[in-house]
Every structure is written in C-alpha cells, then in structure tokens.
Amino acid sequence: MNLLEIKDLQASVDGKAVLKGLNLTIKPGEVHAIMGPNGSGKSTLSKIIAGHPAYEVTSGSVNYEVNFKMKDLLEMEPDERAKEGVFLAFQYPIEVPGVSNEAFLRTSFNAISKHQGAEEMSEEAFKKFVRKKMELVSMDEKFMDRAVNTGFSGGEKKRNEILQMAVLSPRLAILDETDSGLDIDALRIVADGVNKLKSKDNAILLITHYQRLLDYIVPDYVHVLAGGKIIETGDKSLALKLEDKGYDWLLQ
C-alpha cells in the first residue's frame, strides 16, 4: 500500500502558481530525493504536505495512508498531520524564545503519543529517552535547557530538527534542504542520524540541491522538479549525472 499519493497537484502562493501538476507516489521503506533548480517549487511541495496555511492548493489531491485507508491530507490541520506521523524538518527552523527545547519536545511527543493511544511520558522518563536520541545526532545535553532554536547556529538548528525527528519517529519525514549550510562533519552526523532512523515502515523525502547528501543517505528514487512538475525520475545515478551536467540538458 502506498504511504503518500500526490496527483496532479497545482498550488500557488500569493496568487502566483508554483506547482503545475505534480505527481509523486511514496511507499513505506522508500527514500526519495527531489532535486531541481532554484524556484522550481521544492520547498512549496514540502510546506503543502505539512500544511502551511500560506500555500493554496488550486487543484489535484494529496492522499496519505492512515490505518490502512487513504485519507485526504489536505483536509487535515497541520497538527493532525503531525499526529498521524507526517514530519517536516524545516529549511529555516523557527526560534521560540522562552520555551526550553526539552519542554517543547516533551509537549510535542506527548501530544502525538496521546493521539496514537500511548501513555504520556513523565518528565523523568522523557529525559532518559531524549538523552539516547541526542547521541544519534551528537548533541550536547545543554541544548535541552536552551530555548528552542534561539541563538542556535545554522548547523545546530538543523541537528535540532533531526533530533525532533528521532524523538517523534514519523512515518513520513520530509527533510527540506537539511544539508544546506552544514559543514562536512555536521553533514555526516546528520546523515548518520537519518540512516539510523530509516526502517521498512517509514519513508523519507529529501529535498536537496547537492548530490553530496546522497552519498550518505542513498535514495531509491531521484526526481527532478522544474517549472512546478517532476520532469525526470531515476535512481541514484541521476543525481550524479545532475552533479556533472547541471539541469540544462533536462530543460531543453
């Protein structure tokens, strides 16, 4: 059964059409990468899947599997999508002053657990749980007491997104340019973290400009998004070809 089915998706932001008939199907256990020139609609796609209110879907459908049934994702509030396992690692993670990272993560984790019928975790138990997850992305414990993303460096913010992913264990994780702005060591840490979170039950959608991320997280499919549509799909070798030749040969 498919996890995500996007059919003929057309969407605009501020009245400007950005997606012009996009099709994409993702199954559990798969890793998909979307590449494409600037302004092709990559981030728009990620925001629409997560439910950002500024993006308007003008046509098409986005369906997502919930309890073995395909549900209209566009009908769900962003928090309902999160509770059903949709996760977006933000390209520019938002600062939340005055709220500690730990309190934020715990509230988030408990809101989602509760929805899925699991017990809420106590403060103590959560501390232990989160400590393990922090090892995955080599984050220091001191980040738990700091306000969410406030005063974090670019790399720290990105790692914090992956930590959230590790804590919330989503079924569909979208990583929106998580690799941009990371140095090679940080990139390796983040990629290792993501690889450890990969399983046959969840899927990952990577949005990236650079082939180098795909050296670490190997995709099953590589799609090229240009002009609001997917114009080419291939395997990992397509990314290497793009690295070598750029996009021009596809846009001709």
Partner 1 sequence: MSENKFTSSGTEIDTSYKYGFVTDIETDTVPRGLNEDIIRLISSKKNEPEWMLEYRLKAYRHWLTMEEPTWANVTYPKIDFQDIVYFSAPKKKTEGPKSMDDLDPELVKTFERLGIPLSEQKRISGVAVDVVFDSVSIGTTHQKDLEKVGVIFCSISEALHTHPEMVKKYLGTVVPYTDNYYAALNAAVFTDGSFVYIPKGVRCPIDLSTYFRINASETGQFERTLIVADEGSFVNYLEGCTAPQRDENQLHAAVVELVTLDDAEIKYSTVQNWYTGDKEGRGGIYNFVTKRGKCQGKRSKISWTQVESGSSITWKYPSCILLGEESQGAFYSVALTHDRMQADTGTKMIHIGKNTKSTIISKGISTGHSKNTYRGQVKIMPSAAGARNYSQCDSMLVGDKCNATTVPYIEVKNETAILEHEATTSRISEDQLFYLKSRGLDSEAAISMLVNGFCKDVFKQLPLEFSVEAVKLIEMKLENSVG
Instruction: In angstroms, give the least distance from the CB of 164 to partner 1.
Output: 7
Burial of 236 (0-12, 13-18, 19+ CB in 10 A): middle
- Bridge pairing between strands 55-66 and 69-72: antiparallel
CB 55 within 8 A of CB 13: yes
Instruction: In angstroms, give the least distance from the CB of 2 to partner 1.
Output: 22
CB 176 within 8 A of CB 90: yes
Instruction: In angstroms, give the least distance from the CB of 142 to partner 1.
Output: 18
Interface residue list for partner 1 (CB under 8 A): 50-54, 77-79, 81-83, 87-88, 90, 93-94, 96-99, 104, 107-108, 111-112, 115, 147, 164, 168
* Residue 58: count of CB within 10 angstroms of its CB: 11
Which is nearer to partner 1, 171 or 229 (by Cβ)? Answer: 171
Which is nearer to partner 1, 77 or 235 (by Cβ)? Answer: 77
Instruction: In angstroms, give the least distance from the CB of 10 to partner 1.
Output: 21
Instruction: In angstroms, give the least distance from the CB of 46 to partner 1.
Output: 10
Closest listed residue to residue 196, CA positions, set 179, 173, 220: 173
Largest CA distance in the chain: 58
What is the rounded end-to-end Cα distance, in angstroms, of the chain? 36
Which is nearer to partner 1, 108 or 233 (by Cβ)? Answer: 108
Which is nearer to partner 1, 193 or 219 (by Cβ)? Answer: 193
As given in the structure block, the two tokens for residue 155 are 């790399």
Which is nearer to partner 1, 118 or 251 (by Cβ)? Answer: 118
